[in-house]
Amino acid sequence: MDDKYHFQKQWEEYRRRRNRQYIAAVICGIIPNLIFFSLLKSGVESNRATVVLVFASIVSVIVILAVIFHFHKWICPNCEKRFFVRSYWIRFPEWLSNCTNCNLPKYANSTFEKN
């Protein structure tokens, strides 16, 4: 890439982290239920299947929280502070259009930048 796109790799990492959290939410929402219903269909007692469902749901929540935490820790390519927050947590950071610290526009200096 030329000098115009010097933040390209950082924005690609941002998109990977963002997409990972969406994929994790969908997969972790579906997998425990698939396991539960497959256990019921295979003849496992409903009490045991429910225990497996609860365990799978807890693991899913932990995975989702870990992926979201990883996304929220993404560093701004310009100021090298966390892009989304000055404090710790914010809802829906993917909707923010600028860094909360240095006001760098989302996708600035990358091929993803809106013209």
Tell me how many domains the chain contains.
1
Has residue 30 been placed in a domain? yes
Q: Name the residue among 75, 61, 5 with its Cα closest to residue 29.
A: 61
d(CA 64, CA 18): 12
Print the domain residue range for 8.
Answer: 3-95
Task: Print pLDDT tens along the chain (115 aa).
Answer: 456 677 888 888 988 998 999 999 999 999 999 999 998 888 888 888 899 999 999 999 999 999 988 888 888 888 888 887 755 555 666 777 788 888 888 877 777 766 4
Has residue 113 been placed in a domain? no
Has this prediction a pTM greater than 0.85? no
Q: Which residues does 75 contact at the CB level (< 8 Å), separation at least 6? A: 10, 81, 82, 83
Kindly tell me the sign of the dihedral angle through the C-alpha atoms of 4, 10, 14, 20: positive
| Structural tokens at position 24 | 């994790």
